[in-house]
Amino acid sequence: MPRPTTRAPDAGWTDPDCPVARTLDLVGDRWSLLVIRDAMDGARSFTEFQRRTGIARNILTDRLRKLTAHGLLAQRTAPSGRRREYVLTGAGHDLFPVVVALRQWGERHAFAPGEAHSTLVDRHGTPVPEITPTGADGTPLDTETTRVRKTR
């Protein structure tokens, strides 16, 4: 079922008809995806995002504002009641498979064989299986078995 759009009015899209381009317009810079990654891993406060990423305060302020404006993060009062915190929205949570796919690509292509790196595991400590797009019949899909169809 379609979810509400996270598109801001007059967003000035790079390629208005392409979902990949629109997504990259929203989260395609390095810092935005690292903020989303850390929110998925439990970061909530400005200070925590800054500590985890090493991002400059002005850039972090900009990215948090942008991610909030586009509906990927929301601000709420922290349980202590003394400050605000950032939490993923439904649209932010929907980026989980994207982050997993990027992580798995990085594990395959961004590290030398045997080089140490973090690993995503499930609640039982088992490494998350490779994400593979599949067709309605369960057949694995790739660039040779798919094409883009314009909807207009």
| Sequence spans of domains, the chain | 19-92
CA distance 15 to 22: 7
CA distance 33 to 67: 10
Residues facing residue 86 across a β-bridge: 75
Question: Which CATH code of 3.40.1370.10, 3.80.30.20, 1.10.10.10, 1.10.3720.10 fits the domain covering 19-92?
Answer: 1.10.10.10
Are 115 and 108 in contact, with CB atoms under 8 Å apart?
A: no
Q: Residue 5: what pLDDT?
A: 53
User: Per the structure block, which two tokens stand in for 110?
Assistant: 């961004």
Are 117 and 111 in contact, with CB atoms under 8 Å apart?
A: yes
List, run by run, the mean pLDDT of 10-residue segments along the chain (152 residues). Answer: 49 86 92 97 96 96 96 94 94 97 95 94 96 96 94 78
Q: What is the pTM of this model?
A: 0.85
